[in-house]
Amino acid sequence: MTEEVKIFDILRQINEKHERYEYDKKIAPAWQLLNWLSHDQYLMDYAQNINRLMFVSGMPDKMVYKYFFHAIPKKRRYIKWIKKDGVDKKRKKAIEEIAERRNMSIREAEYIYDLVDRINHNGHDIPF
């Protein structure tokens, strides 16, 4: 039974320089590698350098992978999984009430809610 390769295996392979798996574009496309590796502040320069070349010249995904594999220093890294911020239920309910009562869009109600919130907290950074 063969082990299913995931993008995390490819990322670990890049960071630790142990080529256990064959690179597959379907598992880890170049843009996704670039996205994940750019989350580490020490790898931002590598990601930025390849980003310029990748989209302008149409560099193949395999070449981007090889660049990362050979250029990035060997080190165990913990790349954080970036999650979407949770929605504040109290804020959301208040915004929906403002929008319904005043007959306005959610975007306008958010602006009003944030403005009132800023006035209530300090009142010094109001844009008018």
| Burial category of 95 from C-beta neighbours within 10 Å (exposed 0-12, middle 13-18, buried 19 and up) | buried
For residue 12 the two structure tokens come to: 């670990």
Residue 84 within any structural domain of the chain? no
Q: Are 51 and 103 in a shared domain? A: no
pTM of the model: 0.59
Domains of the chain: total: 2
Q: What is the pLDDT of residues 37-64, one digit of tens each?
A: 888 888 888 888 888 887 778 888 888 8
Query: Residues 93, 99: contact at Cβ < 8 Å?
Result: no
- If you ran DSSP here, which 8-state letter would residue 84 be given? P
Domain that holds residue 114: 89-121
Q: Per-residue confidence at 95, pLDDT binned at 50, 70, 90?
A: very high
**Does the structure show a pLDDT above 90 at 76?**
no
Q: Are 14 and 65 in a shared domain? A: yes
Among 45, 71, 97, identify where a domain stops: 71
Q: Per-residue confidence at 14, pLDDT binned at 50, 70, 90?
A: confident
